[in-house]
C-alpha cells in the first residue's frame, strides 16, 4: 500500500468519526414540525467533512491531548459543520444561487420548501453557537481546574475567530459582495497575497475586477477553512505566530480551491460534481476562470497551493496529513 492509499484510509477513518459525532450532535426532536428533519438532511447528506477534519488534525499537530480534543475541539468541529451546512442551504436559495441539486440530492428548499430552507439555515447557524456555548456550561469545573490554565482563554479566542469569520466581516460579507453589492470600479479590492498580486497584471484582464473576485473567494470560501485551522491550533495551545501562519494557509487554500471550482464549473458535469454546472454563467457571475481563462487559472491554483502548504509547514511540524489533504482537496483526488 503506497503513501497516498494510507492517507486515504486515514482520511476515511476521520470522516467516519466526524459523521458519527455529527449524528450525535444534530437534534432529532420531532415536536417542532420538520425543522430537525431538515437540519439533519442538510448536515448529514454525504459531505466530505473536510473542515471538521482539518480542525481536529490541526489540534493534533500541536499535540493537544485526547481529553481536551473530546471536550473542546470536537464541539467546535461539529459547530463548524453546522455553519458550513447553513451557508450551503442559503446559497442554494432562489434569491442567491437558485440551485436545485447539492451533493447529488435535491437542495434543502426543494425538498422542504422555500420557507423551511430559510429557517433551516437560521436554525443551523444558531445551533452552532449553542454547541460552542455548552462547552463552558458542560465543563466549568474542568476549565477552572485544568492543568492548562489558559484553556478558558483559548476557548474565548477560538470563539472570537469563529464568530468574526462567519459574520459580516467574513463569510456573510463575501456573500453580500457576491450577490448584492456588485463590483464597484472605484473600490480597491487588494486583500490577497502581495507575492501573487504582482503577477495579476500579466493576465490581460481588468486587474481590479480580478481582485474583486478573489476578495469574494477569500471571504466566502477561505474564512471557514481559516476557522478550522486556527481554532484547532488555538484550542491545542498554539501561539499567536503559529495561528497567523494557519490563517495564511487557510486563506491560500480557500482561494486555490475556489478557483479550481471555477474551472470545474466550466469543464465538468453534474454526475461528477454532484451539483449543477455552468451555474456561474447562468447567474452572470464574473468568476476568475471566466476572466483569465482556464490555463491562467491553473497557474493561480498552483501558486496559492504552494503558499498554503508552505504556511502550514511554517506553523507546525508533523503536518504531512494536512499537506496531503490540501493537495487532494484542491485537485479533487478525494
Q: What is the pLDDT of residue 66?
A: 85
Distances (CA, A) of 76 to 86, 127, 143: 15, 12, 16
Q: What is the pLDDT of residue 159?
A: 97
Q: What is the pLDDT of residue 279?
A: 58
Task: Specify the residue for cell string 451555474.
Answer: 279
At 326, is the pLDDT very low, low, confident or very high (cuts 50, 70, 90)?
very high
Q: pLDDT by residue (tens digit) across 254-276? A: 999 999 999 988 886 655 555 56
Distances (CA, A) of 190 to 96, 106, 206, 255: 25, 37, 13, 14
Domains of the chain are 3-330 (1.10.600.10)
Task: Specify the residue for cell string 471550482.
Answer: 261
Compute the C-alpha angle 319/322/324, nearest 5°.
110
Burial 70-109 (b: 16+ CB within 10 A, else e): ebbbbbbbbbbbbbbbbbbbbbbbeebbebebbeeeebbb
Q: pLDDT by residue (tens digit) across 71-87? A: 999 999 999 999 999 99
Half-sphere exposure of 248 (CA within 13 A, CB side): 19
Q: What is the pLDDT of residue 272?
A: 57
Q: pLDDT by residue (tens digit) across 83-117? A: 999 999 999 999 988 999 998 899 999 999 999 99
Q: pLDDT by residue (tens digit) across 2-21? A: 778 889 999 999 999 999 99
Q: What is the pLDDT of residue 281?
A: 56
* Percentage of the chain modeled with pLDDT above 70: 93
Amino acid at each position: 500500500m503506497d503513501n497516498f492509499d494510507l492517507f486515504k484510509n486515514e482520511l476515511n477513518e476521520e470522516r467516519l468519526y466526524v459523521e458519527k459525532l455529527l449524528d450525535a450532535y444534530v437534534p432529532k426532536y420531532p415536536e417542532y414540525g420538520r425543522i430537525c428533519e431538515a437540519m439533519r438532511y442538510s448536515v448529514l447528506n454525504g459531505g466530505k467533512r473536510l473542515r471538521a477534519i482539518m480542525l481536529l488534525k490541526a489540534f493534533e499537530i500541536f499535540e493537544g491531548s485526547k481529553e481536551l480534543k473530546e471536550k473542546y475541539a470536537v464541539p467546535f468541529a461539529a459547530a463548524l459543520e453546522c455553519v458550513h451546512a447553513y451557508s450551503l442551504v442559503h446559497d442554494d436559495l432562489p434569491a442567491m444561487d437558485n440551485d436545485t441539486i447539492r451533493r447529488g440530492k435535491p437542495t434543502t428548499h426543494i425538498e422542504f420548501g422555500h420557507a423551511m430552507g430559510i429557517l433551516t439555515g437560521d436554525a443551523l447557524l444558531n445551533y452552532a453557537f449553542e454547541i460552542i456555548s455548552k462547552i463552558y456550561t458542560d465543563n466549568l469545573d474542568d476549565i477552572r481546574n485544568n492543568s492548562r490554565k489558559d484553556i478558558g482563554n483559548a476557548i474565548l479566542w477560538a470563539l472570537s475567530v469563529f464568530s468574526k469569520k462567519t459574520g459580516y466581516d467574513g463569510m456573510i460579507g463575501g456573500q453580500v459582495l457576491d450577490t448584492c453589492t456588485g463590483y464597484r470600479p472605484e473600490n480597491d479590492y487588494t486583500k490577497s497575497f502581495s507575492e501573487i498580486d504582482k503577477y495579476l497584471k500579466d493576465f490581460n484582464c481588468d486587474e481590479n475586477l480580478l481582485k474583486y473576485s478573489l476578495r469574494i473567494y477569500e471571504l466566502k470560501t477561505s474564512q471557514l477553512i481559516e476557522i478550522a485551522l486556527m481554532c484547532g491550533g488555538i484550542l491545542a495551545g498554539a501561539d499567536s505566530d503559529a495561528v497567523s501562519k494557519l490563517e495564511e494557509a487557510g486563506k491560500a487554500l480557500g482561494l486555490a480551491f475556489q478557483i479550481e471550482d471555477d474551472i470545474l464549473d466550466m469543464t465538468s458535469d453534474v454526475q461528477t460534481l454532484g451539483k449543477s454546472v455552468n451555474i456561474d454563467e447562468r447567474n452572470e457571475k464574473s468568476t476568475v476562470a471566466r476572466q483569465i481563462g482556464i490555463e491562467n487559472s491553473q497557474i493561480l491554483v498552483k501558486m496559492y497551493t504552494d503558499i498554503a502548504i508552505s504556511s502550514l509547514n511554517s506553523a507546525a511540524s508533523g503536518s504531512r496529513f494536512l499537506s496531503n489533504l490540501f493537495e487532494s482537496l484542491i485537485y479533487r483526488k478525494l
